[in-house]
Amino acid sequence: MGPDMSAAKRGPSGVDAEPLDALDTQRRHEILDAASSVFATSGLRTTLQEIAQASGIQPGSLYHHFESKEAIIVELVKRYHVDLDRQAEIALKELRESDPGDIVDRITSFSTAIAQCAVRHSAAVQFSFYDPPLSAGHELVRLAARAPTATEKAMLKTLEAGHAVGLLRDDVELQMLSHRLTQTMLHVGLGLYHRYRSVDRVAEHLCDMVLYGVATRAPRDSQLDGSKAMQAVEKVMLSWDPSPVSESDRSALIRAVARTEFGRRGYEATTVRDIAGAAHMSIGSVYREIGSKEELLVSIMRSFSEKVVAGWDAAFNSSATSVQRLDAVAWLQINVLEQFHDEFKIQLAWLRQSPPDTPDMAWSFPSLLQRLKAMLKDGARAGELKIDGPSTELTARSIVDLTWVPEGILRSYGKRTALLHVRDTMLRGAAKRS
């Protein structure tokens, strides 16, 4: 009877090597890690050849482990959800075992863990941000649409504990706050505004702003609703043309269809064929009208950026306090998300540098950031804002992030409630003031 070779192979020294399945598992993890890194920077346009190169193997060897690119994406999203659910379990365990007096630390610690998880799985967070391609299988569609339910429930339990010990205000809706904190921390994984900064520091700063606000004195709604900044922003929004596109205007029709397809699928995954099909036109007709997909993207985003920049300018240039200007910007962003939802998603994708570089595709984020920092410093000098000099840039980036309202809040509660919630989680703070 020959030697038993079923369990392991013999190494050169005669010592049993690792079982083949263990080696395969290790190699799969290495491929997934490499794929996650490539996907995070290149998006869905990443090829199997690029993944193989990043993994240090031949493209043909990739098929030994994964049958397709979609199979890799499915595994990445699965890993993300497992890790995220694990953070929720850890948070609940620590909440049960911790001193009630440590509740601020618990909220901050859990929020940081969510942000760290989102950064570890930034590619999967991106896949969850867009609708999967129409050709995607059922499993990918299901996984991409899965909400972070366990995480939000654990955050809600943590916030309820904070309310029980008198930390949080009675008029703050805890379920909405749970959704807000969870989504804000997951947003960190997209790397839009904090790409080169410490994840821990970003999460802690965002938590501090949500709990305690940036305004030195909590503003009343009556002080904000009729401000000069709000009036200026409202005037800009009235100039937005909501008229439906005429089918006789072929160029406008193509832009309208393309903005929907880019927003739904992501720029990388959308083809001119997709746009032509949705517009009920031939591919040749689309090319004759738009020139190229890149030119079409620039045209859409230039029009959008002009509207957004006009709103920010109106708020910045108004004769209002810095707190009122921030409030007006938040109202602008809420209306932008509602009326220009597709462009907003395209813009976020561009900010993470996933689509190809194109000149003047959107408003200049560095320029906006500089103006926002200057306004924050003026507000701090006037005693209106609580901002330390060294953290002005981090605060400015965090404010841009916090003016973004999770779609779930906007859909479920409406624009007015969304605005009040931004006031409670950016200006006034959700915690009770001493």
Average pLDDT over residues 123-142: 81
Most confident of 204-218, 286-300, 346-360: 204-218
* Same structural domain, 61 and 88: no
Confidence of residue 5 (pLDDT cuts 50, 70, 90): very low
Residue 196 included in any domain: yes
* Same structural domain, 321 and 297: yes
The tens digit of pLDDT for each residue in 387-411 reads 876 688 889 999 998 988 888 899 9
Residue 169 included in any domain: yes
* Same structural domain, 164 and 251: no
* Same structural domain, 169 and 271: no
Query: Could you say which of 26, 45, 67 is where a domain stops?
Result: 67
Domain that holds residue 48: 16-67
Confidence of residue 378 (pLDDT cuts 50, 70, 90): very high
Residue 325 included in any domain: yes
Average pLDDT over residues 117-123: 92
Q: What's the whole-model pTM score?
A: 0.84
* Same structural domain, 395 and 268: yes
* Same structural domain, 329 and 195: no
The tens digit of pLDDT for each residue in 178-205 reads 999 999 999 898 876 666 468 999 999 9
Residue 10 included in any domain: no
Q: Three-state SS across the chain?
A: CCCCCCCCCECCCCCECCCHHHHHHHHHHHHHHHHHHHHHHHHHHCCHHHHHHHHCCCHHHHCCCCCCHHHHHHHHHHHHHHHHHHHHHHHHHHHHHCCHHHHHHHHHHHHHHHHHHHHHCHHHHHHHHCCCCCCCCHHHHHHHCCCCHHHHHHHHHHHHHHHHCCCECCCCCHHHHHHHHHHHHHHHCCCCCCCCCCHHHHHHHHHHHHHHCCECCCCCHHHHHCCHHHHHHHHHHHCCCCCCCCCCCHHHHHHHHHHHHHHHHCCCCCCHHHHHHHHCCCHHHHHHHHCCHHHHHHHHHHHHHHHHHHHHHHHHHCCCCHHHHHHHHHHHHHHHHHHCHHHHHHHHHHHCCCCCCCCCCCCCHHHHHHHHHHHHHHHHHCCCECCCHHHHHHHHHHHHHHCCCCHHHHHHHCHHHHHHHHHHHHHCCCECCC
Residue 419 included in any domain: no
Tokens representing 291 are: 């020139």
Confidence of residue 45 (pLDDT cuts 50, 70, 90): confident
Residue 91 included in any domain: yes
Residue 413 included in any domain: no
Average pLDDT over residues 253-270: 81
pLDDT on residue 16: 46
* Same structural domain, 78 and 34: no
CATH of the domain at 195: 1.10.357.10
For residue 95, give the nearest of 160, 35, 141, 44 by alpha carbon: 160
Total domains, the chain: 3
The tens digit of pLDDT for each residue in 76-110 reads 999 999 999 999 999 999 999 988 889 999 999 99
* Same structural domain, 176 and 319: no
pLDDT on residue 362: 47
The tens digit of pLDDT for each residue in 53-85 reads 999 988 888 888 899 999 999 999 999 999 999
Query: Could you say which of 24, 41, 67 is where a domain stops?
Result: 67
* Same structural domain, 109 and 145: yes
* Same structural domain, 290 and 358: yes
CATH of the domain at 44: 1.10.10.60
pLDDT on residue 264: 76
Residue 411 included in any domain: no
CA-to-CA distance for 186 and 426, rounded, in angstroms? 18
pLDDT on residue 135: 73
CA-to-CA distance for 263 and 265, rounded, in angstroms? 6
The tens digit of pLDDT for each residue in 231-240 reads 999 999 999 8
Query: Could you say which of 67, 102, 127 is where a domain stops?
Result: 67
Q: Indicate whether 354 pLDDT > 60.
A: no
* Same structural domain, 292 and 339: yes
* Same structural domain, 335 and 388: yes
pLDDT on residue 350: 58
